[in-house]
C-alpha cells in the first residue's frame, strides 16, 4: 500500500525531549480514514506519555486533541467522506461488545483504532497517543474515530472537544449527573477542571467551587462560571468547601488532578450520599488508603470518568452547536496557538501552569 510522508512529533524514549520527524502515513485500509489535521491541543496526557506514565511502547506519535478534514477513506467506510470537518475521538465504540449491546456504548470495552501502523522512515512502528497521534500534518485513524461537526467552528476550538474539554464537561454532565441546584466542587482547574466548571454551569449548578493551587487557574475558573474559589496551597479545601456549602460538603466533587491526596480531598469534601468523580488520571505507582468504614458510612457514589463518559456522535455536535450559539465559550480554553516545533516549550508552559491549553496549528 502507498504511504505519504508528513511531519509529526514523536516521543523517542522515557523523559527524552520530543522530536519533529518525518513519518509515513499509509493509505487508509478497510474501515480507516486519513485526516488532514488542522489543530491539536496539548493535553497533560501527552506529557504523561513522554514521561513514561502510560506505557513503555516508545516511540509514541503524540497528540490526541484534534480536529481536521477527512482526506481519504478506506473500503466500507460510510460514516464519513473526504472533505468532512471532523473531531477525532479516542473511544470509537464497537457496537458489538457487552456494554454496547446493553445500550451503554460510552463504556465500550473494545474501542477501535486503525489496524495499520504509521512508521518512521526506517520502518519503526509508532504508537499513536490514545490511538490518534495528531501532532502530525496527517494521521491514520479508524473511521469511527471521526465525528462530523459544524464546519464553521474554529478547528482550534473543535479539537479541544476531542479530549480534555469533553472529559471535563462530561465528568460533570454525564458521570456526575450534575443537575440544577446542585453544589459542585472541582479540584484542579487546568483544561479538564475548567471544563468541568463549564459543564456544571451548563447543567444549572447553584454553587460551583473551584479549587487549585494556582491563582491564575482560579481566575479563569471564575470567568468560566465558578461562584467561589479556594487556593488549596494555603487553605484546607475540605474545610473551605464545607464552609461554602452550609457545613455539608458538595453534592458532586470532581477530581481533575489525578493524585491520591486530591482524591482524598474530594472524598471528604462531598456531602453524605454525594458523588465523587475521578477524571484526573493517576500514574501506575499511586495507591489510595481510605478507612473502609468511611467509604461505607458516607454512602453515595465513587465514579471514574473515562473521557467524560461521552458518546462522540451525541456530544461533539451538541457542544459545538452550543459554542457556536454563544451558550458556552470554548474559545476561552485556547491560551495560545503554536507550531509543531514548539511542543517542548508548550509542555514546559503547561508544567508551570502558564496555560489552559496550547493548541498546535497545522
Q: What does 97 bind: Zn ion, ligand NAD, none (CB cut-off 5 to 8 Å by kind)?
A: Zn ion
Judged by beta carbon, residue 34 or residue 163, the one nearer Zn ion is 163
Q: Which is nearer to ligand NAD, 40 or 187 (CB)?
A: 187
| Beta carbon nearer to ligand NAD, 8 or 53 | 53
Pick 110 or 294: Cβ nearer Zn ion: 110
Provide, rounded to whole angstroms, the least separation between the CB of residue 246 and Zn ion.
35
Binding window for ligand NAD (CB under 6 A); candidates: 10-18, 27-35, 134-142, 186-194: 186-194
| Residue 307 binds ligand NAD, judged by CB under 6 A | yes
Residue 125: how many other CB atoms lie within 10 Å: 12
Q: Where are the alpha helices (DSSP H) in the chain?
A: 44-51, 98-101, 155-160, 164-170, 191-203, 215-223, 237-244, 260-269, 292-298, 312-324, 343-351
Using alpha carbons only, give the angle 150, 154, 159 rounded to the nearest 5 degrees.
85
Q: Which three cell numbers stand for residue 174?
A: 454525564
Of residues 190 through 249, those in contact with Zn ion by CB under 5 A are none
Residue 119's nearest CA partner among 66, 51, 61 is: 61
Applying CB under 6 A, does 191 fall inside the site for ligand NAD? yes
Positions 253 through 282 that interact with ligand NAD (CB under 6 A):
256-258, 262, 279-281
Shortest Å distance, C-beta 85 to ligand NAD? 22
Site for ligand NAD in 146-175 (CB under 6 A): 163-164, 167
Strand-pair category, 119-120 with 19-26: antiparallel
Among 118, 192, 230, 253, binds ligand NAD (CB under 6 A): 192
**Which of residues 23, 240, 350, 360 is near ligand NAD by CB under 6 A?**
350
Question: CB atoms < 10 A from the CB of 30, how many?
Answer: 12
Q: Which three cell numbers stand for residue 78?
A: 460510510
With beta carbons less than 8 A apart as the criterion, state whether 300 and 325 touch.
no
User: Which of ligand NAD, Zn ion, none does 290 bind, CB closer than 5 to 8 A by kind?
Assistant: none
Residue 67 binding target from Zn ion, ligand NAD, none, CB below 5 to 8 Å by type: none
Calpha distance 289→291 (Å, rounded):
7
Residues 221-250 that bind ligand NAD (CB under 6 A): 232
Mapping DSSP to helix (H, G, I), strand (E, B) and coil, where does residue 315 land?
Answer: helix
Beta-carbon-side half-sphere exposure of residue 62 (alpha carbons within 13 Å):
29
CB closest to ligand NAD, residue no: 190
Of the candidates 161, 167, 174, the one whose C-alpha atom is nearest the C-alpha of residue 87 is 161
> Which CA distances in Å does 361 have to 18, 65, 287, 337, 340?
17, 12, 38, 6, 7
Which is nearest to 259 in space by CA: 60, 58, 55, 53? Answer: 53
Q: In terms of CB distance, is 10 or 257 closer to ligand NAD?
A: 257
Select from 94, 202, 301, 361 the one that contacts Zn ion (CB under 5 A). 94
Q: Which residues here bind ligand NAD, judged by CB under 6 A?
A: 43-45, 48, 163-164, 167, 187-193, 211-214, 217, 232, 256-258, 262, 279-281, 305-307, 350, 353
Q: Which residues here bind Zn ion, judged by CB under 5 A?
A: 43, 45, 94, 97, 100, 108, 110, 163
Amino acid at each position: 500500500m502507498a504511504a505519504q510522508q508528513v511531519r509529526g512529533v514523536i516521543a523517542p524514549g522515557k523523559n527524552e525531549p520530543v522530536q519533529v520527524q518525518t513519518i509515513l502515513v499509509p493509505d487508509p485500509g478497510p474501515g480507516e480514514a486519513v485526516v488532514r489535521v488542522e489543530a491539536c491541543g496539548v493535553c497533560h496526557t501527552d506529557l504523561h506519555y513522554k514521561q513514561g506514565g502510560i506505557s513503555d511502547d516508545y516511540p509514541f506519535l503524540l497528540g490526541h486533541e484534534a480536529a481536521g478534514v477527512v482526506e481519504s477513506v478506506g473500503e466500507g467506510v460510510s460514516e464519513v467522506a473526504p472533505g468532512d470537518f471532523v473531531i477525532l475521538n479516542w473511544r470509537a465504540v464497537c457496537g458489538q461488545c457487552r456494554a454496547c449491546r446493553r445500550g451503554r456504548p460510552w463504556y465500550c470495552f473494545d474501542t477501535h483504532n486503525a489496524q495499520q501502523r504509521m512508521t518512521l522512515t526506517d520502518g519503526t512502528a509508532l504508537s499513536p497517543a490514545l490511538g490518534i497521534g495528531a501532532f502530525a500534518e496527517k494521521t491514520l485513524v479508524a473511521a469511527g474515530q471521526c465525528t462530523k461537526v459544524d464546519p464553521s467552528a474554529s478547528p482550534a476550538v473543535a479539537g479541544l472537544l476531542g479530549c480534555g474539554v469533553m472529559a471535563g464537561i462530561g465528568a460533570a454532565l454525564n458521570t456526575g449527573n450534575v443537575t440544577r441546584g446542585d453544589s459542585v466542587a472541582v479540584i484542579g482547574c487546568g483544561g479538564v477542571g475548567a471544563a468541568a466548571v463549564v459543564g456544571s454551569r451548563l447543567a444549572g449548578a447553584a454553587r460551583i467551587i473551584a479549587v487549585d493551587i494556582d491563582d491564575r487557574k482560579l481566575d479563569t475558573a471564575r470567568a468560566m462560571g465558578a461562584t467561589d474559589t479556594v487556593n488549596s496551597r494555603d487553605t484546607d479545601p475540605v474545610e473551605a468547601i464545607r464552609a461554602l456549602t452550609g457545613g455539608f460538603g458538595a453534592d458532586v466533587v470532581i477530581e481533575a488532578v489525578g493524585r491520591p491526596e486530591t482524591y482524598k480531598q474530594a472524598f471528604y469534601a462531598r456531602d453524605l450520599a454525594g458523588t465523587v468523580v475521578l477524571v484526573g488520571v493517576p500514574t501506575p505507582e499511586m495507591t489510595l488508603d481510605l478507612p473502609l468504614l468511611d467509604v461505607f458510612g458516607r454512602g453515595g457514589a465513587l465514579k471514574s470518568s473515562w473521557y467524560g463518559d461521552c458518546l462522540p456522535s451525541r456530544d461533539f455536535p451538541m457542544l459545538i452547536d452550543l459554542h457556536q450559539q454563544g451558550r458556552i465559550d470554548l474559545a476561552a480554553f485556547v491560551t495560545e496557538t503554536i507550531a509543531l516545533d514548539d511542543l517542548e516549550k508548550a509542555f514546559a508552559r503547561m508544567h508551570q501552569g502558564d496555560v489552559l491549553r496550547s493548541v498546535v496549528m497545522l
